[in-house]
Amino acid sequence: MTELLELENVHARYGPVQALHDVSLTVGEGEVVAVLGANGAGKTTTLRAISGTVSRGGLLQLGGSNLRGGPEAAARAGIAHVPEGRGTFVELTVDENLRLGAYTRRDRQVRHDIGRIAEYFPWMVDRGAQRAGTLSGGEQQMLALGRALMSRPRLLLLDEPSLGLAPLIVREFFRIVRELNENEGLTVLLVEQDARIALSISSRAYVLEVGRVALSGKSDELRDDESVRRSYLGY
Amino acid sequence: MVVASFADFMQQVVSGLAAGGVYASLALALVIIHRSTGVINFAQGEMATVCTYIAWTLTFNHGWSYWPAFAATILFAFVFGVATHRAVIRPVERGSVLRVVIVTIGLLIAINGFVVWQWSGEPQALESPFGTDTLDIGGVIVSAQDVGTIVVTLGIVVLLWLLFQFTKVGLALRAVAVNPDEARLVGVRVTWMLALGWGLAAVLGAVAGMLTAPSVGLDPQMMQPILIYAFAAAVLGGIDSPLGAVVGGLTLGVLLNLIEVYSEFVGTELKLSVALLIILGVLVVKPSGLFGRAEVKRV
């Protein structure tokens, strides 16, 4: 498998606070990789380091070229970051949110892609003119995912998509992510509190502890290792 | 109260709409900047004054006719607005709102000083592009200047609305106003969008200035009362609502004109006080204005 994303000795800080000390990880083309860990372990910061929304150092490469600059540059390089807590423009309509997802694209396939995305989220067709802020939490999370797909990303970063959602909706969300991965070869780096569901959807996982990679391995092996489960994953 | 004929009344309404179109343009400029940057640009009126002087220089010193000068001035206003954001506002933008506001007040004073230094305080006359003719519309006599002002200001407002509503750049501008961090994540170059907003606002101000100058006369203080009316219009409509700014501007224009003409008490001298009373009244009774959404903060 060729590596799409490569992080080596990445560190990041918020002002004087060092949030990531030394994180190295890889994501292969077409792979779903999970990042797990307790609150404050640096999961969100890892994603933010990749998309350039936090000041960072170390080696970060996407498809062999260095990631430089802020989030605008990351978006142009093909990274779609769905941040924690529903990344939608609440005052804009569903349709406008989707079109904004395609902002960096120059081709004329945007309309067509909205139709394609509607195959995964049929309700978006009829509710294109609805303001995103009036959607339910689950629908907003779906819209955030749909918007990310509109950029035809090389790499999708998902930050805690299950946060605050009912279990049924969480399952539906991850079913769609899995389908996208299987049907379209979408590469995903997933940050998740819910280790059980994250390990079930991913092929590999990294466990962070205070800004460092404490452990990594195949998802099914991590899941079956009781000592790992108890000491790191808490279930 | 003076008893008036209907035709006379309608004439005053049209003339109020012309003034209102000017207030609406400048109010819209304030709203565009407030939505994207979160501050009131106190220099908006002075920026319009400089632009109007440019138009006057082109017509008076260089013999241009009004409309070519109008077009060139709009171009200048846009570049001036973008440059102001890049050079003056952007360096302080990350600080507190107060810092930015103080910078815009400083800008107001600096630009005013520049205008007086460059063009002196003497009033100048900018020719009217619409002439001094009057039109008879079903018995209502209106001046061509008033009708032209209404058509041009509303035309510019409609063009801007089309830009914001139906173009990719417009969508990006609105996205930045709603959520700049998110906008960055989808690849919008936010600082350029903010500069673009300043450019568009400066264009609106220039239009307001160039349409006002022929009737009130061009001098360095010309836009100062109009900025107060524009504040009142923006506050009345809701400081974050573009539609509110336009409706507020037109309403205020008509209202103030009717009060000025028909009330024996208010007259020209107290018009400004009425505008300030409206600002105060709206802020006390309904701070979000007619079209604004009440701000809800989670604590």
Q: In this structure, are residues B211 and B144 in contact, taking their beta carbons and an 8 Å threshold? A: no
Q: How far apart are the first and last CA of chain A?
A: 31
CA angle at residue A51 from A49 to A55, to 5 degrees?
Answer: 40
Identify the helix (H) or strand (E) that includes residue A72: helix A71-77
Task: Give pLDDT < 70 ranges for chain A.
Answer: 1
- Return the CATH fold of B6-285: ABC transporter involved in vitamin B12 uptake, BtuC (1.10.3470)
Find, in chain A, the residue whose alpha carbon is nearest to that of B191: A72
**Three-state SS annotation for chain B:** CCCCCHHHHHHHHHHHHHHHHHHHHHHHHHHHHHHHHCCCCCCHHHHHHHHHHHHHHHHHCCCCCHHHHHHHHHHHHHHHHHHHHHHHHHHHCCCCHHHHHHHHHHHHHHHHHHHHHHHCCCCECCCCCCCCCEEEECCEEEEHHHHHHHHHHHHHHHHHHHHHHHCHHHHHHHHHHHCHHHHHHCCCCHHHHHHHHHHHHHHHHHHHHHHHHHHHCECCCCHHHHHHHHHHHHHHHCCCCHHHHHHHHHHHHHHHHHHHHHCCCCCCCCHHHHHHHHHHHHHHHCCCCCCCCCCCCCC
Average pLDDT over residues B165-181: 93
pLDDT for B298 equals: 47
Statement: residue B2 has pLDDT above 80:
no
Find, in chain B, the residue whose alpha carbon is nearest to that of A90: B178
The partner residues of A208 in beta bridges, in order of sequence, read: A37, A213
| Amino acid making up residue B242 | P
Average pLDDT over residues B250-259: 93
Asked if A72 lies within 8 A of B190 by C-beta distance, the reply is: yes
B67-87 pLDDT tens trace: 999 999 999 999 999 999 999
- Distance between CA atoms of B140 and B12, rounded to whole angstroms? 10
* Chain B partners within 8 Å of A72 (Cβ): 184, 187-190
User: What rounded mean pLDDT belongs to chain B?
Assistant: 91
- Distance between CA atoms of B152 and B208, rounded to whole angstroms? 10
- For residue A109, is it within any domain? no
Q: Is A81 left (phi over 0), alpha (psi -120 to 50) or beta?
A: beta
- For residue A147, is it within any domain? no
B207-227 pLDDT tens trace: 999 999 998 899 999 999 999
Q: In this structure, are residues B81 and B90 in contact, taking their beta carbons and an 8 Å threshold? A: no
Average pLDDT over residues B172-176: 95
pLDDT for B296 equals: 55
- For residue A190, is it within any domain? yes
- Distance between CA atoms of B223 and B238, rounded to whole angstroms? 21
Statement: residue B53 has pLDDT above 70:
yes
Closest among A88, A174, A172, A173 to A135, alpha carbons compared: A88
Residues of B with CB under 8 A from a CB of A: 168, 171-172, 174-175, 178-179, 181-190
Give B109→chain A minimum CA distance, Å.
36
Closest partner residue to A103 (CB to CB) among B174, B178, B188 is: B188
CATH code, domain with A44: 3.40.50.300
pLDDT for A172 equals: 94
B118-165 pLDDT tens trace: 999 899 999 888 988 888 888 888 999 999 999 999 999 999 999 999
Asked if A151 lies within 8 A of B181 by C-beta distance, the reply is: no
Average pLDDT over residues B188-206: 96
Average pLDDT over residues B28-52: 94
- For residue A67, is it within any domain? yes
- For residue A191, is it within any domain? yes
Q: Determine the 3-state secondary structure of A19 from DSSP.
A: strand
Give B41→chain A minimum CA distance, Å.
24
Q: Report the domain count for chain A.
A: 1
Asked if A88 lies within 8 A of B171 by C-beta distance, the reply is: no
Closest partner residue to B178 (CB to CB) among A90, A101, A147 is: A90
Statement: residue B111 has pLDDT above 60:
yes
pLDDT for B3 equals: 54
Instruction: Give B299's pLDDT tier (boundaries 50, 70, 90).
Output: very low
Give B184→chain A minimum CA distance, Å.
5
pTM, two decimals, is 0.89
Which residue range is the domain that position A45 belongs to? 3-88+153-233
Count contacts between A and B (CB, < 8 Å): 61
ipTM for this model: 0.90
- For residue A118, is it within any domain? no
